[in-house]
Amino acid sequence: MAEVRLSGLSKSFGSTVALEKVDLEVPDGSFVVLLGPTGAGKTTILRMVSGLDTPDEGTVTIGGQLMTGLTPAQRNVAMVFQQYSLYPHMNVRENLEFPLKSPLLRTPQSEIDRKVNEVAEILQISHKLDNKSTALSGGEMQRVSIGRALVRNPSVYLMDEPLSSLDAKLRADLRVELKSIQANSGATLIYVTHDQVEAMTMATHVGVLDNGKLVQFGTPRQIYEDPVSLYAASRLGQPRINVLPADLFANVPPKATSIGLRPEHILQGEGEESTVTRVEHLGDQTRLHLIFKNHDLITVTDAHTELQQGDTIKIKPDNPLYFDASGARLV
């Protein structure tokens, strides 16, 4: 395992800028989630680290060693792709053995069998080992794909939305499983997703990307509670942070143009009046859709609330986040 450092990484595809001067330090043994919408440059970063693509500018260092000019094999990284890329002409076992049999590792057969069985056990695919890889369900394919990374002991694991094609239950199970595998083995893992639940639950660090730029890097809690910008703030939190014009409220900092309200920033029962437009009972919590001075708001309230559509409720901001005209956070 090793730490990964990106410095001044830039990449363009034709006239499209995919990455712009990204500096990022991934500590040894950390679980870094790169978060951002499609086209933010998440996958491009993974491809730069893996060596599948070369940066226009900047360098990648893994474990203190400069990676410039090294092939993917020489970098000793494992990667899980977004689309399950199982070798269709091999069965499940051969797929899992493939990286161990590479000229890079040349693992003895007894060791291969041990590792393959161990990983198959963890991913619950032991009974499928002799299946054709094309005869698996999507979820099984993706688990084999993850397994092909896990059988190795690389300097860093790279995962590109590995869970996005799975159903909700399997996704929840594998989330826990991946996190515990990483925590137990002390592996360094860079994980790309746009699912904020994955980011919040698994990451030791979250990197927020916006149009090829790294806008914030920190613990999930830091990003959630102390975002540097409106953009970073809206990456995490469910329901999403509410953004209202700052002049709706009194006592606002002078330069603030918008105010960001997460559910916990909205005190219910005092302040100014708002109208309930919709009540969503989710079981453990209830979401309230409100109209406050002609602006929509979504907040969370008691699971057993008596409120109904058309009711009026008083609300008041409590220690909210303020942003200036450019979207930067005002502290």
Partner 1 sequence: MSFSVTQPSTRQKWFAGVLVTGYALLTILPLLWIIATGFKSPSDAIAYPPKVVFEPTVEGYVNLFTTRTRMSPDALAELGPPQTWYDKIVRQYDMVISGPSRYGERFLNSVIIGFGSTFLSIFLGTLAAYGFSRFRVPLKDDLMFFILSTRMMPPIAVAIPIFLMFRQLGLSDTHLGMILLYTAVNLSLSVWLLKGFIDEIPVEYEEAALIDGYTRFQAFYKVVLPQAATGIASTAIFCLIFSWNEYAFAVLLTSGTAQTAPPFIPTIIGVGKDWPAVAAGATLFLVPVMVFTVLLRKHLLRGITFGAVRK
Q: Report the interface residues with partner 1, using CB under 8 A.
A: 50-52, 71-73, 76-79, 81, 83, 85, 87-89, 98-99, 102-105, 148
Nearer to partner 1, 73 or 291 (CB): 73
Q: Report, in Å, the least distance between residue 200 CB and partner 1.
A: 28
Q: Report, in Å, the least distance between residue 6 CB and partner 1.
A: 18
The span from the CA of 207 to the CA of 46, in Å, is 13
Q: Phi-psi bin for 130: left (phi > 0), alpha (psi -120 to 50), beta?
A: alpha
Nearer to partner 1, 80 or 232 (CB): 80
Q: Report, in Å, the least distance between residue 331 CB and partner 1.
A: 42
Q: Report, in Å, the least distance between residue 221 CB and partner 1.
A: 32
Nearer to partner 1, 74 or 219 (CB): 74
Nearer to partner 1, 135 or 267 (CB): 135
Q: Report, in Å, the least distance between residue 157 CB and partner 1.
A: 11
Nearer to partner 1, 60 or 300 (CB): 60
Nearer to partner 1, 125 or 223 (CB): 125
Q: Report, in Å, the least distance between residue 47 CB and partner 1.
A: 9
73 C-beta neighbours (distance < 10 Å), count: 12
